[in-house]
Each structure stands twice: as structure tokens, then as C-alpha cells.
Amino acid sequence: MARAAYVTDLKTLQGECSANYLRLLRLVGDMESGQRRDIALRSDHQHFGDLHLAILQEAPYTTLVEVTQSGPLDAVIEGPRMRVHLYHDVRMAEVVDFQRERHFSGRYRYPNARMHQPDEKLQLNCFLGEWLAHGLAHGHAVDMPELR
């Protein structure tokens, strides 16, 4: 039985990128190039780590943001790290770098040498969305009392 080739779901990808743009704008607020914001992720009784946002570059229509997380397992494994491009003219945010790997295609043949999933780009942007939503729901930033 032949498998059908994966077809990129552009509507879902664009929807996720638009939602991530809004989430990131809420988190970075009025930050400027070179600034960093640390957001503590905790419940009432436990600290789960910190979400770090840094503005790497700004241009009239784009902003490059680095999103990282540190936590209790830092001595064992490096926390997640993404670079996200915000496109202000179309109000979208796209993951352009994950764990120091860049340039993700919209689809991959599977299996492949890097073992990317056929919809790797969509999965990375969905992960970013879940990560940012968690930061918005459970984050506490000293300089942003309106985070919730």
C-alpha cells in the first residue's frame, strides 16, 4: 500500500505563527534591542525554572527574539533554545532556529538523515506556542505585573 506524501498545512502553520506573534508581543512588551526579560515559572509552592526572552535585532518590519529556558536540570541537559523572527507587517512569528539548527523546510521526506518529521516546521511552531502559553499562564516577571 503506497503512502500519500505529506502536504504542508499552510492554514494551520499561519494560524500558529499569528497566535505566537500575539503571545510574544505580550511577553516582550516594549523591550528594545539588547534587552532581556526573565520570567519565573512557578506554582504556589514550587519553582520550575525561568523563561528568558532577549531581543537580538530590531528592524523597521522585523524583530529577532531569543527564547530560552533554564531550570533544575541544567547540570544534566541544556534547556530548550529558539530564535524567533517576528514579522510586524504580517503579524506573524516564525521559529528560525531551534537548538542551534537553522532553516527548517515546510516538509521533509521521511525517513531522512536528520530524522526530521514530515511536518517539523509546524511542530516547532506549535511547541513555541505551548511554551509561550505556559509562560503567560504561570510566569511571574518583576517588571511586568500585568503578565497574567
Per-residue pLDDT of the chain (148 residues; tens, 9 = 90+): 656 666 677 899 899 999 999 999 999 988 999 999 999 988 778 888 899 999 999 999 999 999 999 987 777 878 889 999 999 999 999 999 987 676 666 665 666 676 566 677 888 999 999 999 999 998 887 666 555 5
Q: CA 78 → CA 5, 65, 75, 127, distances in Å?
A: 34, 19, 8, 17
CA-atom Rg of the chain in angstroms: 16
Cα–Cα distance measured from residue 30 to residue 32, given in angstroms and rounded to the nearest whole number: 7
DSSP codes, 41-52:
EE-SS-EEEEEE
Three-state DSSP state, 144: strand
